[in-house]
Amino acid sequence: MSKKSSYQQIIKSTTIFGGSQALIILIGIIRTKIIAILLGPTGIGIIGIYQSIIDMMRSGFSLGLDTAGVKDIAETEAKEDLTVLNRVISSLNIWFKWSAIIGSVICLILCYPISLWAFDSNKYTLPIAGLAICVFLAILTTGKSTILQGMHKIPEMAKSAVWGSLIGLIITIPIYFIFGLEGIIPAFIVSGGISFLCVEFYYRKQSIEKANISNKEAFHEGLSSLKLGIYIVSAALVSTVSMFLIRAYITRTDDIEAAGLFQSAWTITNVYLALILRSMGSDFYPRLSAIASEKDKMKALINEQSYIVLIIASPIVIGMMLFSDFALSVLYSGKFSGANTLLCWQVAGSFFKVLSWPIAFIMLVKNKGLVFFMSEAAYYSVYLLSAYILYPLYGLDATGIAYLASYIVYLPLVYIIGRKLSDFKWTNTIISMILINLMLICITFLIVMYIPQYKYLGGITLCASILYAFFKLKKVFNLKDLGSWFKKE
């Protein structure tokens, strides 16, 4: 693949998958608004807890194979041996099938204690038992999506996700309307079934032949993936525990309202801004996995990905700083204005996060699960320690300062690891882009934080960032090519 076509592939996959994720978020907002009217705060609260249970079970019992599996499929597909590829896919299907069965059975067994833990009551035992079906469907859906991603079928992934969300919205809203709170579990099951059928439809269109492989053979062949997967799950557990600790500390030190302000800023930086990274990673990760043994190609691809990350993320970071109060009021309400400075600190940290993100994938594609886990643990250790030390001095803003500080530490850490594992280094072009964007971000940050009465001056840095991004984009991508994508798709 030529350098220009590589950039085009990155932009194309980001546009397609990012657009689909934006649509899914929009559908989710519409669904939440309608459900809020039909079921009220109680219904929204119950749905949130049920969804957390499903997500926790799906994440835990997928065993990290949703990440490790993408790597295995991409590496195998690069060898152009269809027989071996079909065997790897069949092996993964067996792993996900048994993971789904075990996950649903565990959910069924633990329905009573989960009800007591989540609701302080046993009245939700039967509904949570019903969630076992949702857990089963969610893990199977994850398995099929993993295979599509590993095969670089990004448009198919995007279509299945959008259709699943849209059809799910159309069918489940009448269920909520007719049955009210009693319709929550049926709606969850129907929605999970629709999502699975949509991804299964696009999976079957790939005409993948089922390999003749036993459960025992699949188990042994999947152990190498499982080793990486366990470290990924462990890293996710560290993240979950760390977030629990920081929220508990804020609640205990301040109050529930402060925890709510923290949550609003965290959601914007780690859900909405992270949408950019998820969109890029959908194609970047399997492409990098396919060339994991070729250092020069890896270095080129990571630098190309970093180039596009800087073009897209830098203007967004500056824009989020300038309009943080507006974003909080639109996404939440005016009552969340207290999170304004916290959000600015976290958005500043997000710049270092997007720089470290492409490099961190080196650890995964090189199968260095322990190194990946240790790097994540180091990040959260710095984050928690910084927040704890700074909180008495800066209050809630300390968590934002800690977020920035931890990524300032994390970036050189993963860069050094990347150098050790693959001789990676940024090109001069990337370094110059980092310095220019960092200068614009620092100027904007100083304006917003220390002379807010002159915030309009930040418009100059925002325009400069957009113009610079457009200038760099035109060097690697012809905007006229956008039309041809939609003709083909």
The pLDDT tens digits of the residues spanning 302-311 come to: 999 899 889 9
Residue 248 pLDDT: 79
Same domain, 170 and 310: no
Using CA atoms, how far residue 47 sits from 35, 186, 379, in Å, is: 10, 12, 32
Residue 483 lies in a domain: yes
> Which of 203, 221, 239 finishes a domain?
221
pTM of the predicted model over 0.75: yes
Same domain, 434 and 375: yes
In this prediction, residues 410-429 reach a mean pLDDT of: 94
Same domain, 205 and 251: no
Round to whole Å and give the CA distance between 16 and 23: 11
What lies within 8 Å, CB to CB, of 271 at 6+ separation is: none
206, two tokens: 């790939």
> Which of 196, 221, 246 finishes a domain?
221
Q: Which pLDDT band, with edges at 50, 70 and 90, does 38 fall under? A: confident
Residue 489 pLDDT: 45
287 pLDDT higher than 90 = no
Between residues 455 and 296, the one the model is more confident about: 296
Q: Which pLDDT band, with edges at 50, 70 and 90, does 477 fall under? A: confident
Same domain, 333 and 479: yes
Same domain, 215 and 294: no
In this prediction, residues 264-268 reach a mean pLDDT of: 79
User: Which domain covers residue 208, as residue numbers?
Assistant: 1-221
Same domain, 206 and 241: no
Round to whole Å and give the CA distance between 273 and 314: 11
Q: Which pLDDT band, with edges at 50, 70 and 90, does 2 fall under? A: low
In this prediction, residues 379-387 reach a mean pLDDT of: 95
> Which of 221, 241, 274 finishes a domain?
221
What is the percentage of the chain residues whose pLDDT exceeds 90?
37
Q: For the chain, what is the domain count?
A: 2
Residue 465 pLDDT: 94
What lies within 8 Å, CB to CB, of 170 at 6+ separation is: none
In this prediction, residues 313-319 reach a mean pLDDT of: 90
Same domain, 215 and 241: no
Q: What is the mean pLDDT of the chain?
A: 86
Q: Which pLDDT band, with edges at 50, 70 and 90, does 480 fall under? A: low
Say which amino acid occupies 90: S
Residue 472 lies in a domain: yes
Same domain, 157 and 284: no
Same domain, 441 and 317: yes
Same domain, 263 and 411: yes
Round to whole Å and give the CA distance between 328 and 324: 6
Q: Between the ranges 103-112, 330-339, 467-476, where is the mean pLDDT highest?
A: 103-112
Residue 226 lies in a domain: no
